[in-house]
Structure 1
Amino acid sequence: MTQRACIGFNASFIIFIVFVIGIRLYSRYGITKSGGPDDIVMVAGTIATIIMSICIIISVSNGLGLIIADIPPESWKPMLLSFWISRVFYALALMLVKIALLLFYLRLDHRPRMRWIVFGLMAVVIATGIAHAGISIFECSPPAIFWTFGGNFRIFGEHCMTAATQQKFWDATGAIVVVTDLCLWLCPLPMVWSLQLPIRQKIAVSAVFALGIVSVAAACTRFYYVRKLASTKEIYQQFAESLIWYSLEIYLAIFCGCTSAFKVFLRKHFPSLLGSLASKTRYVLGSSGKNGNVRMTASSFPMQNLSGRHTGRRTTITAVDTREGSEARNEVPPTNDSEEAIVPKASTTDWDTRKE
């Protein structure tokens, strides 16, 4: 039962995540023409995740999830080789997806404090990812022992790390990953609440980032199953269930990282789905820079600079009631589509500022 669930889950999410990343790329490159490094890294992370899922499916199909006595002798090598590859790509995929999110944050906030926070988190993410991949690759010496020992645990014990040593490492990295994930998803919130936006808009923007907490919950559940491995003799049977949560953690992170592009897609092709609020209110950007010649309306809210050293243009968000036929127009195109979906369209230039 667990084997079928693991195979079905990974196969379904491969299809789902291809659809999600397709919408992101179409929105960024096809609609707003504003793709960036975060998109490239997210695509790389998605490819690594798909490879991981394919390897998990192969491993489970060859016996992972069965008790040791029921695993056919000829299945040990393909089962363990694909499992070994899946662990390496898990570490790579999780690292790339988190780096993509952090690169996105750099596009949103240019303040030195935010940049230091992002770079600090990025250093922790990269270090944890490298350590995780290193342990997965070199658990046995030589590494090929991992998939060629054929169920002979005497050989495994002579050439591979002890279970106690591995458990200490997974416990430490598991705790670091959960704490890092919390910081990663919560760090943009102070930036959002410092903007001159209506309270409802701030809540909506915060909710987009808060979706990442679902990924953190999956990481906590995955950590729970890793802890269970320390107290079971049928470790390969337990792996099938834990791998579902390994996969879910990354797929949720990719999904949450792409949700900001969905509104761009919906506005383009299904505007009626955005509701009456989207149809009644438009947000436009005014600029006091040397090239800014924008007619403003009476209902405008100046957006303060993010910092004294911020080099972007000073901007104004203007709410216009389209029912009265009044609209201020701005010819400056948005430079980053992600904020199209989480903040008013007009403020996009200020979120991804360019030096004059």
Structure 2
Amino acid sequence: MTSRSGDDFPFPYASTADCYAIGIALPTVAIIVTGLCMYTRRLLNAVVGPDDWLIVGGLVAVIAMGICFTYGAATGAMGQPTPPPPADLTEADMLSYIDAGYETLQKIQFPFQISMMLAYGCIKMSIVALYRRLFVIDTRSTFGIVTLVTQVVLVLWSLTFILLIIFPCSSHIWANWGSTGDQLALCPVVFTSEYGLTGSDLILDLYVFLLPLPCVWKLHMTLQRKLMVSGILLLGAMAVAASVARLVVYVDALALLTAEAAVDEKLVVTLGLYWSLLESGLALIAACLPTLSALIVKKKLTLMLESIRSVFSLRSTSRSIRSEDNQPIYLQHTFKVDVENRSSDHVGKPAETRAGPASNATYKPSR
């Protein structure tokens, strides 16, 4: 990151090297993490579900954002200061003048922001789909309905802002990379939509990552295990932190630009896009970590997450046996199923056969 003297912007700008680094490194890490996530699914013979396909869609969008950044750094449109305009321009000419590098940046920004919205939408919906995989047994349950409504809201939110990105200037799409005069005349909602996007994105991030906690804390588990599961599901807090940083950068940048302060608009836009890519990449990695943790802890985490679903499944049929309370969840599941199976196997047998010798009358769950 670099800063410039005489500039009113309070944050350091992203340099060309920063643009290359995030444009290449972050999508590469995202590809590796997503590949490992799919490998883990296959290794554990888990069904590939909507959450997996949505995360692949988010990966494609993050790769597209990285390509935009790499191209912008290679052409000098990103990471380099705007050269001063010709000295002989009049005040009227300044409205129609546009630097060639800044025009290229605006043309890059157009597909970048569309990819950004696709990444935001797919990754958030993938996380909610993972919650449904873990916690929803009965689709008519409260949590099932809440997560379904959340998915619908995320789809509508993504489509709304994609349309606002494409058509902020009505049918004059070319004005997205036009001069200052063109944008002032034809694009009245640009700043309003930017504020709305950054604010609503942060609110949705917080909501999505906090959504499953009530379900976790209702489970019959030890406090340590509840904290462990909550921590796994809250790994997306790093993406929320990036979203907060992005919001602060956008608010300060838009305030200074509208006040016509001494800031380099090209570097300000680059920094805003930098934080957008960082947020998307971190959110994607966070969405894959619960599955990847199964490799790190040698499948123990998978047993724990699957046992959560087992508890919800058992609740939908009957209450747990009180003697199970001190057992691990997956043993509780085995105990419950074994008791039911033995009960069904003994139906129709003589009483003396069912009882057996006195020494075998007490049943002990296998470990």
CA shift for structure 1 position 313: 10
Change (3 A) 1:283 1:114: closer
Q: Tell me, in whole angstroms, the C-alpha distance in 2 between the residues paired with 1:21 and 1:9.
A: 17
Q: Given the alignment, which residue of 23, 29, 44 partners 2:57?
A: 44
- Matched residue pairs, number? 293
CA shift for structure 1 position 22: 0.9
Aligned residue in 2 for 1:106 = 132
In our comparison, the structure showing a higher alpha carbon Rg is 2
Aligned residue in 1 for 2:360 = none
Aligned residue in 1 for 2:159 = 130
Q: Tell me, in whole angstroms, the C-alpha distance in 2 between the residues paired with 1:311 and 1:34.
A: 24
Change (3 A) 1:329 1:313: closer
Aligned residue in 2 for 1:14 = 27
Q: Tell me, in whole angstroms, the C-alpha distance in 1 between the residues paired with 2:51 and 2:105.
A: 34
Contact 2:81 2:266 in 1 (8 A): yes
CA shift for structure 1 position 84: 0.9
User: Is 1:83 the counterpart of 2:109 in the alignment?
Assistant: yes
CA shift for structure 1 position 56: 2.2
Aligned residue in 1 for 2:95 = none
SS at match of 2:83: helix
Aligned residue in 2 for 1:121 = 150
Q: Given the alignment, which residue of 283, 295, 308 partners 1:253?
A: 283
Contact 1:59 1:80 in 2 (8 A): no
Q: Tell me, in whole angstroms, the C-alpha distance in 1 between the residues paired with 2:241 and 2:210.
A: 14
Change (3 A) 1:121 1:313: same
Change (3 A) 1:330 1:284: farther
CA shift for structure 1 position 55: 0.9
**Correspondence 1:176-195 to 2 at 5 A:** 176-195=200-219
User: Is 1:212 the counterpart of 2:236 in the alignment?
Assistant: yes
Q: Given the alignment, which residue of 178, 192, 195 partners 1:168?
A: 192
Q: Tell me, in whole angstroms, the C-alpha distance in 2 between the residues paired with 1:35 and 1:98.
A: 17
Q: Which has the higher strand share?
A: 1
CA shift for structure 1 position 155: 3.2
Amino acid at match of 2:234: A
Contact 2:238 2:282 in 1 (8 A): yes
Q: Given the alignment, which residue of 173, 176, 180 partners 1:153?
A: 180
Q: Tell me, in whole angstroms, the C-alpha distance in 2 between the residues paired with 1:16 and 1:331.
A: 42
CA shift for structure 1 position 168: 2.2
SS at match of 1:69: coil
Q: Which moved more, 1:117-126 or 1:6-15?
A: 117-126
CA shift for structure 1 position 48: 0.8
Q: What TM-score, normalized to structure 2?
A: 0.70
Q: CA RMSD in A?
A: 3.5
Aligned residue in 1 for 2:358 = none
Question: Any stretches of 5+ residues in structure 2 without a counterpart?
Answer: 3-13, 86-97, 339-367
CA shift for structure 1 position 170: 2.1
Q: Tell me, in whole angstroms, the C-alpha distance in 1 between the residues paired with 2:305 and 2:60.
A: 37
Q: What TM-score, normalized to structure 1?
A: 0.72
CA shift for structure 1 position 105: 0.9
Contact 2:239 2:279 in 1 (8 A): yes
Deviation track 1:39-80 (CA, whole Å, cap 9, x = no partner) reads 011111111111112112212433234444369965455433
Contact 1:146 1:156 in 2 (8 A): yes
Contact 1:121 1:180 in 2 (8 A): no
Q: Given the alignment, which residue of 18, 24, 31 partners 2:44?
A: 31
User: Is 1:5 the counterpart of 2:18 in the alignment?
Assistant: yes
CA shift for structure 1 position 181: 1.2
Q: Tell me, in whole angstroms, the C-alpha distance in 1 between the residues paired with 2:125 and 2:305.
A: 31
Aligned residue in 2 for 1:229 = 253
User: Is 1:144 the counterpart of 2:174 in the alignment?
Assistant: yes
Change (3 A) 1:69 1:117: same
CA shift for structure 1 position 34: 2.1
Aligned residue in 2 for 1:344 = none
Change (3 A) 1:57 1:39: same
CA shift for structure 1 position 314: 7.0
Deviation track 1:91-130 (CA, whole Å, cap 9, x = no partner) reads 1110011011111111112251112221232233222211
Q: Which moved more, 1:4-13 or 1:249-258?
A: 4-13
Contact 1:52 1:86 in 2 (8 A): yes
Deviation track 1:219-255 (CA, whole Å, cap 9, x = no partner) reads 1110111112221353222012222211111111111
